[in-house]
Chain A
Amino acid sequence: NAGVTQTPKFQVLKTGQSMTLQCAQDMNHNSMYWYRQDPGMGLRLIYYSASEGTTDKGEVPNGYNVSRLNKREFSLRLESAAPSQTSVYFCASSDYQPQHFGDGTRLSIL
């Protein structure tokens, strides 16, 4: 039972490069979320998708775009990476609460 799978697990980018983080869930959940977690900090919501075909901004959406490809998959794209986007990115899914999290993508931008 995989739960929430995130790829890649680690990535290093140069400033200005673009990248898409992938997330897939096998629990048939309607809602999916993208968070970022900076060192020693709590989670901040970037975007969420309450159901297939809908997406909404969270607390810190600037610099990111998302796509809810189907019910299983929710991707996060950085169009022009900046050092301030260095963080650990978590994807989660739920039917309301509780949320189930992936193991994260550790992203460094030089």
Chain B
Amino acid sequence: LAKTTQPISMDSYEGQEVNITCSHNNIATNDYITWYQQFPSQGPRFIIQGYKTKVTNEVASLFIPADRKSSTLSLPRVSLSDTAVYYCLVGESMDSNYQLIWGAGTKLIIKP
């Protein structure tokens, strides 16, 4: 069973770039890596998804090395409203079952 590993918490300041890394060994060939953001009392919300190299959208970038055993979520110029828990999700197939392995989440605190 694959396991994803993320830092438990991180602090940063407004205007800084924040990078959060997730390790995921045994990622399957066809699996994508997806990052979510969760605020208190809400369900997770999709941020970005990628398969390899680099993906960028209006809110974040995702860097995935060639071996795909890790990924790094990059949040440019964070603000106080980026304080949240961030999860990486990697889909994994085991035998005939499809297992979704969530990281434990990284609590990001942005300070003024």
Please state if B44 and A97 are interface contacts (CB–CB under 8 Å).
Answer: no
* Smallest beta-carbon distance A31→chain B, Å: 9
* Smallest beta-carbon distance A46→chain B, Å: 11
Please state if B87 and A42 are interface contacts (CB–CB under 8 Å).
Answer: yes
In the complex the two chains form, what is the Cα distance from A42 to B112 in whole Å? 27
B42 within 8 Å of A (CB atoms): yes
Please state if A100 and B46 are interface contacts (CB–CB under 8 Å).
Answer: yes
Given that A48-B98, A48-B100, A50-B98 are known contacts, is A43 also in contact with B87, CB under 8 Å in the complex? Answer: yes
Interface residues on B, range: 20 to 34
Please state if A43 and B98 are interface contacts (CB–CB under 8 Å).
Answer: no
What per-residue 1/0 map shows which CB atoms of A62-91 lie under 8 Å from chain B? 000000000000000000000000000010
Residue of A nearest to B43 (CB): A101
In the complex the two chains form, what is the Cα distance from A48 to B92 in whole Å? 14
Interface residues on A, range: 20 to 34
Q: Which residues of A contact B105 (CB under 8 A)?
A: 41-42
Please state if B49 and A98 are interface contacts (CB–CB under 8 Å).
Answer: yes
What per-residue 1/0 map shows which CB atoms of B17-50 lie under 8 Å from chain A? 0000000000000001010100001111110010
B97 within 8 Å of A (CB atoms): yes
A109 within 8 Å of B (CB atoms): no
Q: Which residues of B contact A102 (CB under 8 A)?
A: 43
Please state if A58 and B104 are interface contacts (CB–CB under 8 Å).
Answer: no
Q: Which residues of B contact A96 (CB under 8 A)?
A: 32, 91
Q: Which residues of A contact B42 (CB under 8 A)?
A: 103-104
**Interface centre among B45, B99, B102, B105, by most A CB within 10 Å?**
B102
B residues whose Cβ falls under 8 Å from a Cβ of A:
32, 34, 36, 41-46, 49, 87, 89, 91, 97-100, 102-105
The 3 nearest A-B residue pairs measured at CB? A101-B43, A98-B46, A42-B104
Q: Other than the known A57-B97, A59-B99, A99-B46, what 11 A-B pairs have Cβ atoms closer than 8 Å? A: A41-B105, A44-B102, A50-B98, A90-B43, A92-B43, A97-B49, A97-B89, A97-B91, A99-B34, A100-B46, A101-B43
